[in-house]
């Protein structure tokens, strides 16, 4: 006969005290991470005394709106991010709503009315970088957590936070590494540095890394075309810009893997070998980084953690609206691949 699952057996599985498990199951205070761990294990073990009230005890059923500045379903970077947000809301019994805001096509008044009708408790903003839209959204008075942010200076009321990746430090370190290992001095950034905060910090990280090597750099060394007037998905357009450069680049630092893949295609059409003649660095570690040959050096981001941290940060903001706004930086992991694996020549 199968033994009944008890608080003691759950405690033994988690190496926690029975008192801690009992508190977590009965809505008394324990750290949120511990409470989640206990509830998850209780569900896994089919603890008979667990019911919906356990999930809701000690936490409000918040109404969360995810607003996106573009359709996200077909973008590899955002699929796991949005999935983690959905899972977190499901686990905590939050109501989740989604809204895509089409800049220049959707009146802000329509969005504001939608927020009012839903009566949401807080907003997670993804790919929302237009300064005017961001300012208006914050001024609706709802707590907001941004995944990345606008690149320009923005002076608005508080009641928002930003989750971002460690972009500047990540790129600075890879530029220093490449400069030292291969004696590379000529770096070229590819991407609209004003598109968003992360792209700007990746650009600044490259500049910092170059400065460590006492190298000189100017904007004319880069491909910084504005997104609205340039197609970074067109390798022929990138090829044209490469041919305009005043000197032969030794390493291309790209704003993300999507752009890096197209840079690789442009370089191949110019008969430039990667990595023998030129190195390429991307960012985000999405499938595009390994869909080309050679595979592209990139930075991996824990997108599941990024989504969950956005929700945790937003709930904290909802419960503590007077706290100062925060920029929360999530570390990245460097993935060295063939695009920067040049055999050192002696």
User: Residue 57 above 90 pLDDT?
Assistant: no
Q: Clarify whether residues 176 and 297 are in a common domain.
A: yes
Q: 248 vs 156, which has greater pLDDT?
A: 248
SS3 category, 141:
coil
The pair of structure tokens assigned to 280 is 């390429």
Q: Clarify whether residues 41 and 51 are in a common domain.
A: yes
Q: What is the pairing mode between strands 298-300 and 333-335? A: antiparallel
Provide CB contacts within 8 A for 146, sequence distance 6+: 125, 128, 134, 160, 161, 162, 163
Of 153, 135, 152, whose CA–CA distance to 144 is shortest? 135
Do the domain assignments include residue 345? no
Q: Clarify whether residues 294 and 317 are in a common domain.
A: no
CA dihedral 65, 70, 76, 81 (to 10 degrees): -20
User: Residue 154 above 90 pLDDT?
Assistant: no
d(CA 143, CA 137): 10
Q: Clarify whether residues 321 and 287 are in a common domain.
A: no
CATH number at residue 51: 1.10.260
User: How much is the mean pLDDT over the chain?
Assistant: 89
State the DSSP string of 229-276: G--TT-HHHHHHHHHH-SS--SEEEESSHHHHHHHHHHHHHTT--TTT
CB 154 within 8 A of CB 94: no
Per-residue pLDDT tens for 35-46?
Answer: 888 888 888 888
CATH number at residue 263: 3.40.50.2300
The pair of structure tokens assigned to 104 is 């220049």
Ramachandran bin of 151, using left for φ above 0, alpha for ψ from -120 to 50, beta for the remaining angles: alpha
- What's the domain count of the chain? 3
Candidate from 91-95, 194-198, 236-240, 302-306 with smallest mean pLDDT:
91-95
Do the domain assignments include residue 140? yes
d(CA 186, CA 327): 32
d(CA 311, CA 345): 49
CA dihedral 8, 43, 318, 61 (to 10 degrees): -120
pLDDT category at 49 given cuts 50, 70, 90 is low
Q: Clarify whether residues 213 and 116 are in a common domain.
A: no
Do the domain assignments include residue 84? yes
What's the domain range around 17?
7-56
d(CA 192, CA 224): 5
Element (H, E) at 98: strand 95-100
Q: What is the pTM of this model?
A: 0.81
Per-residue pLDDT tens for 73-120?
Answer: 667 888 899 999 999 998 888 999 999 988 888 889 999 999 999 999
d(CA 247, CA 216): 13
Of 75, 79, 136, whose CA–CA distance to 103 is shortest? 136
pLDDT category at 56 given cuts 50, 70, 90 is very low
The pair of structure tokens assigned to 208 is 């910092």
Q: 213 vs 145, which has greater pLDDT?
A: 145
Q: Clarify whether residues 172 and 270 are in a common domain.
A: yes
Cis check for the bond before 78: say yes or no (omega within 30 of 0). no
């Amino acid at each position: 006969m199968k033994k009944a699952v008890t608080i003691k057996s759950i405690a033994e599985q988690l190496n926690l005290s029975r008192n801690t498990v009992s508190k977590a199951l009965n809505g008394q205070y324990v750290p949120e991470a511990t409470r989640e761990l206990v509830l998850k294990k209780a569900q896994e073990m089919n603890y008979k005394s667990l019911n919906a009230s356990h999930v809701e005890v000690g936490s409000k059923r918040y109404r969360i709106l995810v607003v996106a500045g573009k359709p996200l379903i077909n973008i590899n970077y955002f699929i796991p991010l949005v999935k983690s947000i959905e899972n977190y809301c499901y686990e905590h019994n939050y109501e989740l709503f989604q809204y895509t805001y089409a800049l220049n096509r959707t009146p802000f008044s329509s969005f504001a009315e939608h927020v009012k009708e839903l009566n949401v408790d807080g907003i997670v903003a993804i790919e929302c970088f237009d300064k005017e839209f961001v300012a208006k959204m914050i001024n609706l008075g709802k707590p907001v957590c941004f995944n990345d942010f606008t690149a320009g200076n923005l002076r608005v009321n508080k009641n928002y936070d930003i989750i971002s990746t460690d972009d500047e430090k990540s790129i600075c370190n890879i530029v220093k590494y490449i400069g030292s290992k291969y004696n590379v001095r000529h770096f070229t950034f590819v991407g609209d540095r004003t598109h968003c905060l992360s792209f700007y910090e990746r650009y600044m990280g490259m500049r910092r890394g170059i400065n460590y090597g006492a190298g000189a750099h100017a904007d004319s060394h880069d491909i910084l075309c504005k997104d609205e007037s340039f197609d970074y998905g067109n390798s022929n357009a990138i090829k044209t810009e490469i041919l305009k450069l005043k000197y032969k680049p030794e390493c291309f630092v790209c704003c993300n893997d999507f752009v890096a893949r197209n840079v690789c295609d442009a370089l191949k059409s110019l008969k430039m070998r990667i990595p023998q003649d030129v190195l390429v660095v991307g960012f985000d570690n999405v499938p595009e980084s390994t869909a080309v040959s050679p595979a592209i050096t990139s930075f991996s981001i824990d997108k599941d953690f990024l989504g969950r941290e956005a929700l945790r940060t937003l709930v904290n903001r909802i419960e503590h609206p007077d706290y100062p706004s925060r920029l929360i930086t999530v570390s990245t992991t460097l993935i060295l691949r063939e695009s920067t694996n040049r055999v050192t020549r002696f």
